[in-house]
Structure 1
């Protein structure tokens, strides 16, 4: 016995069935204990150890690999190894070598690959309240998506926070994101290892400008996941979303007790493009009648007048007026308060009343991130009022909430309408023929690449390939002047880089001179195309991610594609609504809409063509690794592809990256290694 608790020499000597066992031993003893747990049909296991043995035979299977194999065969769920366990506050079950203390239970589920992220939010400020916290570690047999799915099934979960390195089960991860969206439970993610490194093996511009994190960004956008950059952003966003409040239309309502802090908030809001609600005339009239002399009835509102007995009541009424306005979707109330002193304690009660009376997201903020107000924050959280410190932290959290709402509303609206496949897509017979052609191993030339696009309903400048001067002159005459001459020599992917494009050739003598130059420098094979009239140069691209499939890119085209990096990615396939959202995110959009008297481009046809391209990317993902359409000329009459490059899959490029089996916090070198592996 230890302090009256009976002890046993082994698991086998315990007289009752074991629901969960913590194997808190070092690596050399781990395998035998897991064998024993499997033999006893233990419900699950938690392992803290790193599961590596010094001096293991490098040519034999490692301890970690053997544990994975045995757990998989037995269907044994394991938390860890190299983890800190878990806290299930809903079930009052804490399995860790670190105590959570006396924290109050809440509605945030936090799943973290890093043990440090398990510790920091649960060992500091008590305003962050959890129903579940899991340190996933090496995921020996239980993957990130399975913890997330468990959290979604807990009645107390209102928001899911994830600190992740990588995804080891892509299909399961996508399924759980779908489930979260269907249940209207926000997922907030901080993804580490996202630093952009050039895709050195990429053959296309699209591949070169896709960073390590591009696939995750596209995945998160598709399923409405909120992306955050820091642990502060992750926790403040989940704190705000942990309220049980209705997400409605409208923008931000703001009330402050300081003119200077209001100016700071307004400046920072503009930086993050956070809009303030346009309050209606009735709200303005109510505010005007209640505010002290000299204060304007506007949103954002400064309601701090003379320090009279009516001071707190002015705030009480004005906060309610702002929050009741139909154009206000979320409200923030800023006033100076710290644990050792608050100049007007009644403002705390005003905030609590708002939470009781108004079913909209609402938070108290303090512009100073280092404010000492943990006690007040805890008290406010008892009344379901988050207190966020730091003006930037608050604005990011509110922006994330509104972004999630917009994504959710768009998803639900589109779910209630049937989205037709864009017409002009290739038939099943043509798709099969193209798959066979691409899988043959011989690279598609430009003529074939453009023909492929045409089969999927994408307008192209039809090329003619030749390999001698006579045929080149005949092709130019057939196409009609002016024409473009391009090298078609195999292996030259980016023709303009080697002077392989001759534009605006107006007569036979121009073609002859251009052909002579290309054939002498690069080789005799060329293509002849009609010269496309001037327009805005765009680019379409596709990168086939080994985990999440084809990503489609749209961006600025021409020679500036890799310089400007004005692009947007989305997972294929998608409809015209998503294509429009992608185009609207580009910096080049004003040029497409028409500036300085230039006619607007046909954005409807452009978005339709982009959606068709996404169908091509999805249909041929088994055989294609990259596609580049650059440039795609866009004008008032539509768009036309004038150059294309299609890269078929090879065994080397189709191999998926191995999963990670370490924690990112171990060392800077391992963090670097994780980023490299994830790319």
Structure 2
């Protein structure tokens, strides 16, 4: 994954750039227009000529002569009148000259189709950065290079290599093929694009710039993003959070399972943090919905388009067979939904409506009622949607196939499908349909009514689960503090004093270099004490920690032994903490190259990487955010007191966690800062160990 920081990205909305020349130009030019059907210059020109009723379209080809039956100019300088937007589709060797020609002609927006820059290595990155700088200095914008084009169906702009369906989804994609696949899936669901921008290499305009432009666009209701490199990740989070706050959901598909990012990790925090966990934290901060495939993206967009951000977690399952009912319930719960037992009132109403053999407790099993009276699907659905304890309904089974039993039942089934659609529109609650007969006339009628129809029950349940999670609140990150002076070294003493100065308590300690100094320090502190050898990253693994030392002989022997085995530059003599009523936690902050400091909290001590009970968020944290992270741990019950153990002071613990994230965020010279363990007790929170991993 190539890391670039788009020059235009900025977390400050006041600095948002004017992208109207990109999406609503008065006139456009295609530089590299071609009659060769194997070239982008041909594909783009074919699409561009569709919009001649909206604006002048000028074809530019250095050889001159007709292109696609239209006159072509040899250079942009020959084009009569101003050009707001130019698409460059020439070989890489001619791209720089083409950009200069555009800027000389007063072009305000450039779309770089041409490849062969940052994706090829450092020389290409330097060249595209220099070009982007020239574009910005001229007051223009550059999309790409190495991109597929741009489209705005609301302004009649068609400058992508392929036609795309019109609609209300704004798409930003770093992959051309992914955009084309998503367009087909969305079109099958009756959706299309208000805008499309291909990110390419993001030399100038980045994903954050485009999200801001889409959020301000009246024709865009939802924003879909496929992105591999976020550049300035904090700018993306800020732009996406603003879009979500404006009522425009942002759905993200990205890549990165995290193995590569952890290869060079040198602390527990680094080993546990992955690309994926960082992106999840960024999504939670911005209120972005993260999906794992184009189909998931399309399904969630479909449900958001149809139902809006409606509650969906408490689902009623309506089936016409026991097998489908049971599988649907298990699948729904596997996707985070709840299938609660119905109230006695709803169960009685269903019992009065359906045959005695029907199941009425959730799931509802019609048990043959469909064959006897196809309208029972509609009447049952009506009861379920009217119940205040039901958020959504999952219909599963054979509906759509009853029409095979004869023309009269076929007509009744289609009429029932139409009536079901009317009921759903009337109630406004989310309803998804799984049917074994997805190609039937009744299923087609359900689709015409706007109901999501699925061939697999797991897809139906997953889409409802995505919608249910959409309602979770955003957690905007706290602003980054001003940079602090560099730390002098990465030793334990420096780490503990840095954290202690931020307000986190540590046991009384002394820094010593000899056994005699250690003996005097232990006497001043009071036994038992802990001896820690300095200069080691994982002191316990190397035998660099001695616990519970009492008396001069024990202290002297421990220091002497470590000095011989470890060649340590010094030692920390520390008071031994009382662990009896405490819970050991880990608090770490790792600086991500895209999203900046990322905080991690979890169960700590020597079992951290074994249990892997951790939570992530963008740092720094407010105490209330720290408390939310702690409460989300699987082992959070330990903090509240279990099996006779007292509860810890959660308020003090949250403030300590927040302080650690604040000090780490203020040090761009620190790659990782970790306190492990942070001992939480009924009396407060105390750091027992700390480590720094410097940048580089």
TM-score normalised by length of structure 1: 0.81
Aligned-pair distance for 1:219? 1.4
What's the counterpart of residue 55 of structure 2? none
Q: Match for 1:608 among 644, 648, 655?
A: 655
Question: Which of residues 213, 231, 241 in structure 1 aligns to 2:294?
Answer: 231
Give 1:367-446 correspondences, 5 Å limit.
373=439, 380-408=446-474, 435-436=484-485, 438-439=486-487, 441-446=488-493
Shift of 1:594: 4.0
Q: How far apart are residue 637 of structure 1 and its match? A: 3.5
In structure 1, the residue matched to 2:284 is 221
| Unaligned 5+ runs, structure 2 | 1-65, 405-409
The alignment status of 1:357 with 2:421, answered yes or no, reads: no
**Mapping of residues 67-86 of structure 1, within 5 Å:** 67-86=131-150
Compared CA separation, residues 299 and 86, structure 1 to 2 (3 A): farther
Instruction: Verify the 8 A CA contact 2:317 2:328 in the aligned structure 1.
Output: no
Matched, 1:559 2:628: no
Q: CA deviation at 1:546?
A: 3.3
Alpha-carbon deviation of 1:629? 0.8
CA contact (8 A) 2:169 2:191 kept: yes
1:458 aligns with 2:504: yes
Q: Which has the bigger relative contact order, CA under 8 A and spacing at least 6?
A: 1
Q: Does 1:527 align with 2:588?
A: no
Q: For the structure 1 residues 210 and 250, does the alpha-carbon distance in structure 2 shift closer, same or farther, using more than 3 Å as the test?
A: closer
Please point out which of 457, 462, 481 is paired with 2:527. 481
- Within 2, Cα distance between the matches of 1:171 and 1:324? 43
Distance 2:122 2:537 in 1: 42
Shift of 1:590: 3.8
Unmatched segments (≥5 aa) in structure 1: 422-427, 654-679
User: Which of 175, 179, 182 is residue 245 of structure 2 equivalent to?
Assistant: 182
Q: Which residue of 1 aligns with 2:414?
A: 345
After the TM superposition, which residues 483-632 of structure 1 pair with which residues of structure 2 at under 5 Å, given as runs? 483-488=529-534, 491-523=535-567, 525-534=570-579, 535-618=582-665, 620-632=666-678
User: What SS is found at the alignment partner of 2:472?
Assistant: helix
Equivalence map 1:99-248=2 (5 Å): 99-100=163-164, 103=165, 105-124=166-185, 126-127=188-189, 129-131=191-193, 132-197=195-260, 199-245=262-308, 247-248=310-311
**In structure 2, the residue corresponding to 1:110 is in which secondary structure?**
strand
Task: Answer yes or no: is the 8 Å Cα contact 2:585–2:602 preserved in 1.
Answer: yes
Aligned mates of 1:199, 1:306 — CA distance in 2: 56
- Measured in 1, the distance between the counterparts of 2:90 and 2:441 equals 39
Aligned length: 618
Answer yes or no: is the 8 Å Cα contact 1:158–1:244 preserved in 2: no
**Distance of aligned partners of 1:177 and 1:376 in 2 relative to their CA distance in 1, 3 Å threshold:** farther
Q: Quick one: distance in 1 between partners of 2:216 and 2:573? A: 61
1:283 equivalent among 343, 346, 355: 346
1:21-36 residue pairs with structure 2 within 5 A?
21-36=86-101
Note the C-alpha offset of 1:163.
1.0
Structure 1 residues 470, 336: closer, same or farther in 2, change over 3 A?
same
For 1:349-384, what per-residue CA distance to the aligned partner results, in whole angstroms no more than 9, with x for missing partners? 133113320223333234x7xx75498777545533
Conserved in 2, the CA contact under 8 Å of 1:551 and 1:570? yes
Q: Secondary structure at the match of 1:495?
A: coil
Deviation at 1:238, TM superposition (A): 1.8
Instruction: Please give the TM-score of this superposition, normalised by the length of structure 2.
Output: 0.79
3-state SS of paired residue (2:473): helix
Q: How does 1:289-328 map to 2 (within 5 A)?
A: 289-308=352-371, 310-312=373-375, 314-328=376-390
Q: 1:445 to 1:22 in 2, by over 3 A?
A: closer
CA contact (8 A) 2:510 2:521 kept: yes
Over 3 Å counting, the alpha-carbon distance change for 1:387 and 1:133 in structure 2 is: farther
Structure 1 residue 128 displacement after superposition: 5.1
- 1:599 to 1:172, Cα distance in 2 relative to 1, 3 A: closer
SS at match of 2:489: coil
